[in-house]
Amino acid sequence: MLRRLLLLGAPGVGKGTQAVRLVQKLGIPQISTGDMLRAAVAAGTPMGREAAAYMERGDLVPDAVVIGVAEARLQEPDTERGFILDGFPRTTEQAQALDVILSRLGRRLERCVVLSVREDTLVERLRRRAEIEGRSDDNEASIRTRMEVYRRQTAPLIEYYRAQGILVELDGMGSMDEVARRIDGALAA
Ligand code: AMP
């Protein structure tokens, strides 16, 4: 199975759930810039303090900050056998930076899996997550902003990875197991 992976899709599409499953199945780390930023906010680091306001609103944290976080993580030795990028890159500038970072490490992405789910289902899932996890950016205004940010800034990456010949577009509707089967099929080398 391919092991240098990027999961792409709108907020609430199920990237995180599928990334955690792949971590267990493949024994490679999930790299979630969202998780790393939330940890920095919780720890009250200078970076966390800078990122908090953007995250609360549902806006993107500046590229330079996020690229630095991702680069440091990709240099950790546990990524040598593979990794699952979840929530990074989110802009063309981040995608270009990722290509440079990986090429310096002598690696390249093998698959970008984009999951798509109807928007009314996404919003419903995010509202439920707000109730269960209490994530402060799962409020109504932030949900709307994040959907718009995805459409405007992140969706163009679909064409970026199509041009690289590594894109697979999958239906993200249905149960977790159904989506898992589709993803596993797309990762068969
Ligand atoms: P996530 O958990 O991936 O949905 O990320 C939560 C929030 O963290 C996002 O709404 C952004 O504010 C911020 N964030 C996470 N990853 C990135 C990224 N690659 N670029 C910019 N902001 C990010």
Each residue's pLDDT, cut to its tens digit, for the chain (189 residues) gives 999 999 999 999 999 999 999 999 999 999 999 999 999 999 999 999 999 999 999 999 999 999 999 999 999 999 999 999 999 999 999 999 999 999 999 999 999 999 999 989 998 999 998 889 888 888 889 999 999 999 999 999 999 999 999 999 999 999 999 999 999 999 997
* pLDDT score recorded for residue 133: 87
Does residue 138 sit in helix, strand or coil?
coil
Alpha helices by DSSP H, 2-106? 15-26, 33-43, 46-57, 63-74, 92-104
Q: What is the per-residue DSSP string for 8-28?
A: E--TTSSHHHHHHHHHHHH--
Distance CA 187, CA 189 (A): 6
How does strand 83-86 pair with strand 167-171?
unpaired
> Which member of 107, 135, 162, 182 is catalytic?
135
Beta bridge pairs of residue 169: 114
> Which member of 127, 129, 162, 182 is catalytic?
129
Going by CA atoms, what residue is nearest to atom 12 of ligand 1?
Answer: 55
Q: Say whether 90 is catalytic.
A: yes
Distance CA 153, CA 138 (A): 19
Does residue 140 sit in helix, strand or coil?
helix
